[in-house]
Amino acid sequence: MSSETIAIAADHAGYELKCFLKARLIELGFRVADLGTDNTMPVDYPDFAKTLAQAISNGLYDRGILLCGSGIGMSIAANRFVSVRAALVQDEETVRLARQHNDANVLVMGARQIDASVAEDCLIAFLTTPFEGGRHQRRVFKLARSL
């Protein structure tokens, strides 16, 4: 079992995918901090992005997952926080690049844009792909300094 806790949050559009990915994380041995929402009743995605991004920024969790209809709003909102590198992804390749080159610590997906099997593949890639460092470290450092 992993000692890492992964934070996860979604709006109403991402709720069902959140439940699926949360169960998969638990099966893989991760602890999960479910930061909402708890149903499909309409809510505002910035509230959930803020909760998760603040927790990452404050060091409560190292990594997180955000889900909404398109993923766009969640990624915009999350990237406003220091030390958050939220990457909106579409497939395994974009996840691998986000991890390898950008040290992405928040995986963002659009529940209306991606099916559960692709989302699961993205989750596995997010959990297993290391940051390459090297020339990419300099760039990630510049991202942190620009805030």
Residue 39 backbone dihedrals phi, psi, to 5 degrees:
-170, -175
**With left for phi above 0 and alpha for psi between -120 and 50, is residue 59 left, alpha or beta?**
left
Write the DSSP string, 114-136: S-HHHHHHHHHHHHHPPP--THH
**Residues 24, 126: contact at Cβ < 8 Å?**
no
Cis status, amide bond into 51, omega within 30 of 0: no
> Is there a catalytic annotation at residue 101?
yes
Annotated catalytic residue within 100, 101, 102, 124: 101
**Residues 10, 20: contact at Cβ < 8 Å?**
no
| 3-class state of residue 107 by DSSP | strand
Q: Which amino acid is at 41?
A: M
Active site amino acids: 101
